[in-house]
Every structure is written in C-alpha cells, then in structure tokens.
C-alpha cells in the first residue's frame, strides 16, 4: 500500500511539473531588443504573436519593466524571451532573459 501511495505521489508531482512547463511556454514571448531607456524603466521590443496578451500579430512595442534591473541583462539587438502582463499603466515586462 505504501509503495502505491509513493508511486501515486510521484506521478502527481511529475504531472504538476509538466503542467507548469506547458503554462510557462504559453506565456513566453520571443522578441528582439530595439531600444532601452533605463531612466524611464522602459524597453522597446520587436516580437512575434503574444497570445498571453491577446496579440495575434507581430509588432514592436514599448513596455515598462517591473524591475529596472532586468534592463541591465540585455542590450540592443539581443534576442530575448520575455513575459509581460497588462496593467493600468500599459503592458509591463515581468520576466526577461536572453534567448538560448
């Protein structure tokens, strides 16, 4: 019985990791850094469709960043993966990293 419970727990844990990874893939957006304005805490990104934001077409947009330190990890021309959310002030980048 204990072996069965351990096996069921392991399967449930693996399933939760798979679901989390799938959800992260849906919210991740691929883009390119076009401009960085550290003093304003903004970044201009050219990106493909951003389904998590309801954007079905590629576009170039200016985003606020949730944490200005994110801007120090990239430079103009870098290919990036990012996540963003819609806020009262517009769209805000919540995660940003160079693409692999």
What are the backbone dihedrals phi and psi of residue 85, each rounded to the nearest 5 degrees, phi first?
-135, 155
- pTM for this one? 0.72
- What is the per-residue pLDDT across 76-93, written as a single tens digit (0 to 9) for each? 999 999 999 998 889 999
User: What was the pLDDT predicted at 5?
Assistant: 73
| pLDDT one-digit tens code per residue, 8-24 | 666 665 555 545 444 44
Domains parsed from the chain with CATH numbers = 2-98 (2.40.50.320)
- The pLDDT of residue 27 is 81
- Say whether pLDDT at 45 is over 60: yes
The residue written with tokens 């870098």 in the block is 78
């Amino acid at each position: 019985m204990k072996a069965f419970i351990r096996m069921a727990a392991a399967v449930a844990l693996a399933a939760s990791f798979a679901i989390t990874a799938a959800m992260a893939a849906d919210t991740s957006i691929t883009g390119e850094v076009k401009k960085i304005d550290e003093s304003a805490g903004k970044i201009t990104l050219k990106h493909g469709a951003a389904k998590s934001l309801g954007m079905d077409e590629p576009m170039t947009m200016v985003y606020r960043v949730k944490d200005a330190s994110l801007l120090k990890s990239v430079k103009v021309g870098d290919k990036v993966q990012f996540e963003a959310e819609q806020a009262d002030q517009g769209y805000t980048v919540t995660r940003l990293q160079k693409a692999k």
